[in-house]
Amino acid sequence: MELDKEEILKNINSFLGAKNELAIKEAEHQIKIFKAILDKELENYKNQDDGVDGKLDPKEDPKNIELLNVIKDYNENQEKEKAKKLKIENKNIEIKKSILIEFENLVNSKEKLSELATGIKEIREKWNKSATVSSKIDHNFQKEFSKLNESFNYNFNIYKELKENDLKRNFSLKNQIIHELKELNSINDIKKIQLELKLIQNKWEEIGPTFKEHWGDLKKNYWNEINSIQKTIREYYNNFKNSLKENLEAKNKLILKAKELLSEDNSDFKKTEAISKQFKKLQEDWKKIGPVPRNVNEKIWTEFRSIADEFFSKRKQTFDLEKNKLKGNYDQKYLLIEKAKNYVDNIDEDSNPELIKELQNQWKKIGHAGRFAEQKLWKKFRTHCDEFFELKNKNRKEILSKEKDNLKTKILLIEKFKESKNTGFSDIKKFIEEFQKIGQTPRKSAGKILKDFEETVYSFTKKNKLKKEEVFQIEKSLKSSFLSNSSDPDKAFIDEKNRLNRLINSTIKETTQLENNLSFFSNTKGKMFEDFEQKITNNKEKIISLKGELKNLSEAYHKK
């Protein structure tokens, strides 16, 4: 997560006067993060459109000024620390030089043996307690100290007339030291080699003199091993420098690849996920590559990380859009599940399989609802669909039997009405209402019985010479009956509506043609002219009647 300026300020303040190496590195890291943010703000400010007001110059931003002042204080503190360390190191160098001078004076002195023994002990204690200086200087000091120590030991032992067994013991110990030096070649950790080498050298210096006739070979073997190890250390650091360059090249290639991935279109979620995997692979490869030169380490890491952060920020936006899309798909599919369940609960009222098939078609058109939700939703939806068809098949015989009974009831009702003597407006309305109350009939017979029903109604309507409003009410009731007695009211409405519209359009077209033809008879009269006029009149009445039917049909459909 990207740090804000307040957090960076807080962090840098906490590291003011830091002496710990890790703390110093973290402080410098925080400073580089801020400088990257400031550089980006300066670039954005520089590239803003001419005439755009309201954008503050980053150099005048109070928070930036405060941060720059804190960084200045931090750098000044670090410079003071470096000067202090250098002063301390120079002091330590002077201490070591003074010890060496003191040691040289002791070697050249003609003091009593007891005083010499006390003097060498004090010098060795001072040397061991003296602070560490740079490795190269320390190595030269150590060689000088070793040389003086050698001279002292020989002189001291001459004065002391060392016993033969002490010479043998020291000979054995020094050979053991040479053996330990050889064993350092089996260690792979160069830092550990350097540490062990320092300890072994100190042990060598602490061992007293040995046989003078063997000392030349011992010393030669000792320094051969020391020089061999020092060579190994130098080669390691030379190779290490070369590997730093190679690692830098490898990491720069990863940065270029990251930039290429960032430039790709990530608006598509699947493509973004594919790019995301590649980015994660780049991050893993970055970790596998070794260190780079210290002076560019933070710079290239900040660059690589900023590219990755920008990509994953865009990825989050794409992910949020995809998440919202999946949520929308989830909600749509959940509604279909509820509808399917409702159809199952009300299957006794309507068992039309087209209801479920339509839901299934809608389901296919809706996109994916998410990896974890999709299967659960589909399982629930399919369960309700299967349950619907199972119940439908289970009740099929009962439904068919009921439809046959309804057909017989409708046939008897029509026959009874045809034989009735009371066939006024109210009787016709009552007949239509009773017919509507009877349920569905077998599909094969539905059209025939409905046609017989309508013809019966129209027949009695014409015989009784009903009022226009009464005829309108009867036609309206017929349309309602037409829809309520259909196995698929929605389809029946659409089909009937289209049929009436086609009749209206064809009648209008025919009437227009007749009126055009009639214009040719403007100066003549006769039977043909009268026939044309009568046909036009009939067509206009037919158009009015058809529009009335269409209106009745629409009202009946929207009231069902």
Element (H, E) at 351: none
Task: Please tell me the distance from the alpha carbon of residue 227 to that of residue 235, in angstroms, as a whole number.
Answer: 12
Domain membership of residue 480 (yes or no) is no
Domain membership of residue 298 (yes or no) is no
Is residue 209 domain-shared with residue 264, that is, in the same domain? Answer: yes
Q: How much is the pLDDT for 162?
A: 46
Question: What Rg do the C-alpha atoms of the chain give, in angstroms?
Answer: 53
Task: Please tell me the distance from the alpha carbon of residue 440 to that of residue 489, in angstroms, as a whole number.
Answer: 12
Domain membership of residue 483 (yes or no) is no
Task: Please tell me the distance from the alpha carbon of residue 490 to that of residue 146, in angstroms, as a whole number.
Answer: 109
What integer is the mean pLDDT of 54-60? Answer: 77
Instruction: Report the sign of the C-alpha dihedral through residues 415, 420, 423, 427, in that order.
Output: negative
Inter-residue contact 395 to 349 (CB < 8 Å): no
Is residue 383 domain-shared with residue 342, that is, in the same domain? Answer: yes
Is residue 4 domain-shared with residue 126, that is, in the same domain? Answer: yes
Task: Please tell me the distance from the alpha carbon of residue 16 to that of residue 27, in angstroms, as a whole number.
Answer: 8
Is residue 386 domain-shared with residue 402, that is, in the same domain? Answer: no
More confident site: 155 or 183:
183
pLDDT tens digits along 370-399: 667 778 878 887 887 887 777 777 666 777
User: Domain of 281?
Assistant: 162-292
DSSP assignments along 485-535, one per residue? TSSSHHHHHHHHHHHHHHHHHHHHHHHHHHHHHHGGGTT--SHHHHHHHHH
Band of pLDDT at residue 189, cut at 50, 70 and 90? confident
Nearest to 269 by CA among 314, 308, 331: 314
Inter-residue contact 175 to 220 (CB < 8 Å): no
Q: How much is the pLDDT for 51?
A: 45
Total tally of structural domains belonging to the chain: 5
Which amino acid is located at 253 in the chain? K
Residue 314 per-residue DSSP state: H
pLDDT tens digits along 310-326: 777 777 666 666 666 66
Domain membership of residue 481 (yes or no) is no
Band of pLDDT at residue 115, cut at 50, 70 and 90? low
Is residue 363 domain-shared with residue 413, that is, in the same domain? Answer: no
Nearest to 436 by CA among 301, 319, 559: 559
Count of Cβ atoms closer than 10 Å to residue 492 Cβ: 19
The model carries a pTM of 0.30
Position 113 pLDDT exceeds 70 = no
Domain membership of residue 549 (yes or no) is yes
Count CA atoms closer than 13 A to 447's CA, side-chain side: 4
**Which of 9-18, 314-323, 408-417, 420-429 shows the lowest per-residue confidence on average (mean pLDDT)?**
314-323
Domain membership of residue 301 (yes or no) is no
Of 292, 315, 332, which one is at a domain's C-terminal end?
A: 292
What integer is the mean pLDDT of 162-189? Answer: 82
Of 368, 391, 414, which one is at a domain's C-terminal end?
A: 391
Position 269 pLDDT exceeds 70 = no
Nearest to 482 by CA among 446, 507, 514, 520: 446
Is residue 386 domain-shared with residue 404, that is, in the same domain? Answer: no
Nearest to 216 by CA among 139, 142, 150: 150
Helix H segments across 109-211?
Answer: 113-129, 135-160, 164-183, 190-206
Is residue 28 domain-shared with residue 108, that is, in the same domain? Answer: yes
What integer is the mean pLDDT of 511-534? Answer: 69
Inter-residue contact 387 to 395 (CB < 8 Å): no
More confident site: 422 or 427:
427
Position 307 pLDDT exceeds 70 = yes
Q: How much is the pLDDT for 66?
A: 82
Is residue 452 domain-shared with residue 550, that is, in the same domain? Answer: no
Task: Please tell me the distance from the alpha carbon of residue 115 to that of residue 124, in angstroms, as a whole number.
Answer: 14
Of 391, 423, 439, which one is at a domain's C-terminal end?
A: 391
Domain membership of residue 200 (yes or no) is yes
Which amino acid is located at 412 in the chain? L
Q: How much is the pLDDT for 404?
A: 84
Which residue is associated with the tokens 């690589």?
304
Q: How much is the pLDDT for 1?
A: 39
Task: Please tell me the distance from the alpha carbon of residue 14 to that of residue 362, in angstroms, as a whole number.
Answer: 61
Is residue 1 domain-shared with residue 114, that is, in the same domain? Answer: yes
pLDDT tens digits along 228-266: 888 888 888 777 777 878 888 888 888 888 888 777 766
Q: What is the mean pLDDT of the chain?
A: 77
Inter-residue contact 136 to 194 (CB < 8 Å): no
What integer is the mean pLDDT of 530-539? Answer: 76
Torsion angle (degrees, nearest 10) of CA 403, 404, 408, 414 = 40
Spell out the SS3 assignment of 458-482. HHHHHHCCCCHHHHHHHHHHHHHHH
Task: Please tell me the distance from the alpha carbon of residue 107 to that of residue 166, in angstroms, as a whole number.
Answer: 21
**Which of 135-139, 254-258, 494-498 shows the lowest per-residue confidence on average (mean pLDDT)?**
494-498
Inter-residue contact 156 to 113 (CB < 8 Å): yes
Is residue 177 domain-shared with residue 282, that is, in the same domain? Answer: yes
**Which of 164-168, 222-226, 337-341, 536-540 shows the lowest per-residue confidence on average (mean pLDDT)?**
164-168
Is residue 174 domain-shared with residue 83, that is, in the same domain? Answer: no
Helix H segments across 264-422?
Answer: 269-288, 294-345, 353-365, 373-394, 396-419
Spell out the SS3 assignment of 12-23. HHHCCCCCCHHH
Domain membership of residue 4 (yes or no) is yes
Inter-residue contact 370 to 330 (CB < 8 Å): yes
> What are the DSSP E strand ranges found in 180-332?
none
Is residue 271 domain-shared with residue 335, that is, in the same domain? Answer: no
